[in-house]
Structure 1
Amino acid sequence: LIVGADPDLKTERPLFEMVSDAQTILPDSEGAIDGHLREVGLTFHLLKDVPGLISKNKEKALIQAFSPLGITDWNSIFWIAHPGGPAILDQVEQKLGLKEEKMRATRHVLSEYGNMSSACVLFIIDEMRKKSAAEGATTTGEGLDWGVLFGFGPG
């Protein structure tokens, strides 16, 4: 993964470019996701309402990140979403009114590899890139100019 700034479009062709960001601390979420490093690896414990907490608060971060760009239609952008699990994806889709295909790359990576924590989004970026190329899309984001990469976790 290479991160740069201000690409020279005569010599560089960025796959994705970050133009805006936002973060949100969810109210009443202390202890909702606990991570522990143990001999068996990194383990997480999630409270039952984590999907609800995320879906209820996701749009706030989206508005913060996309309002400077004038984007309010969440189906007009491509999605690279940390999967967490099917329940989280289902509730985010429902709350935001997303079309089923918006989470296709995310769901594919989740089904093939499981939840790999933060590394998931790198696999989803690659899946999005490969799928876009295979379908002859004009951009690496399913032919769309704008997209969102979102993640969540403890801390």
Structure 2
Amino acid sequence: MTITDIIYSRRTIKSFKADPISMEQISKWLQASTMAPNHKMTEPWEVYLVGPETRAALNHKANFFNAPVVMAVLSKHGSTEVEKAENALATACFVQNFNLIAWEEGVGTFWSSVGNAQKNREILGVQDEYDVIGVFGVGYPEEISTPKDRTSIEEKIKHLP
């Protein structure tokens, strides 16, 4: 599969099989994800692997669609507002790298913003100098949805003089 095939075929998964994924595999994908662009090599990401007790406390309405692995990805604030924004963007690139490399191996993800609620930040033990970029269900898809239509990029391009 080419990277183009991976990008076009990747979907958000809302129904996972119970099949386990080894922590060795997750670690391999996370290591590859660190190749994300990040301004001044801040490497602002932190990954929390969420265990059953924490997962239950988060009380996600769909229980992360029964994904066998749940992880939270955080971004460390910078010393300025610009660096904070750059770090969040770099961490989003880290997440996208993870999503694509996992998808290449038949594993999908579900990205939730549940970690942004103050109560859930406390459950996760997130320090004030971090943003929660997302809490992710990770697993083999039970179902893969049909892609939704996208706006043509031609409608999004502006040519400047």
Same structural fold, with TM-score higher than 0.5 when normalized by the shorter chain: no
Higher relative contact order (CA 8 A, sep 6+): 2
Q: TM-score range by the shorter chain?
A: 0.3 to 0.5
User: How high is the TM-score relative to the length of structure 2?
Assistant: 0.32
User: How high is the TM-score relative to the length of structure 1?
Assistant: 0.33
Structure richer in strand, relative to its length:
2
